[in-house]
Amino acid sequence: MRYIGLSILSFAVLFSCAEPRAKGIKNQMMDDPIIGLSYDPIRVHFDSCPRSLDSREGAAKGYQWIYAQCARPLDTLYLVSCLMKSWNDEENKWVDSILEPDFGAIVKVSGGKSKAIGTPDGLYGKHAVLPIQDADCLMEDAAARYVKAFGGSSELQKSLTAGKITADVPPPRFVEKLRAKGIILPPEKRK
C-alpha cells in the first residue's frame, strides 16, 4: 500500500513538472523580425512556414512563420522567422524546453531549393542583400500580412501603439507601406 501511494505521489510530481513546461511553450511570446514587436502567436496569426523553407537545426517545429513573400520570375523571396531552441554551450546541445525569438531570415527559393541570403536588417542600406525593388516588394507584402495577422488595421495600430513602436524603428519603406494601409507610427522618440 505504501508503495502505491509513493508511485502516485511520484506520478503527480512528474505530471506537475511537465505541465508548466507545456504551458510555457504554448504561451511563448514572439518578436516579429521587422519591427521587434512582441506578440502572442496564438492570438496573432501569420502564415505557417513549411519546415522545408526554414530547416535550421535549432528551429522549433511548429513555431515558424512567413512575414513577407515576393514572387519574382525565376524565384520567390520570403522573410521568415521562428522560435528557436536555446543552445546549451556546456552540454553542446539544443534545449527543447526553452524557446526564444529568432532574428529572422530572408530566404530565396528557386528550383525547389531554399537558401538563406541574409537577415531583415540587411534589406536596405549600403550592404543590402537584395535590390531595392525586391526589398520594397517584401515590405509591401509584409504590410498586408501584418494587418491581416493582427486582425485589421485598427488592431495592428493598437499593438504598435502599446508596443511604443515609433517611425524610426522599422525601415522607412515599411513605414510608408504601413501608412498606405492606414497605420500611423509616431515620429522617433526624443532623447
Q: pLDDT category, 120, cuts 50, 70, 90?
A: very high
Per-residue model confidence (pLDDT) at position 191: 56
pLDDT at 26 over 70: no
Q: Which residue has the higher pLDDT, 17 or 179?
A: 179
Segment 157-171 mean pLDDT: 94
Burial of 42 (0-12, 13-18, 19+ CB in 10 A): exposed
Q: Is the pLDDT of residue 127 over 70?
A: yes
Mean pLDDT of the chain: 84
Q: What band does 24 get if pLDDT is binned at 50, 70 and 90?
A: very low
- pTM score, two decimals? 0.81
pLDDT at 121 over 50: yes
Statement: residue 27 has pLDDT above 90: no
Domains in the chain: boundaries: 25-180
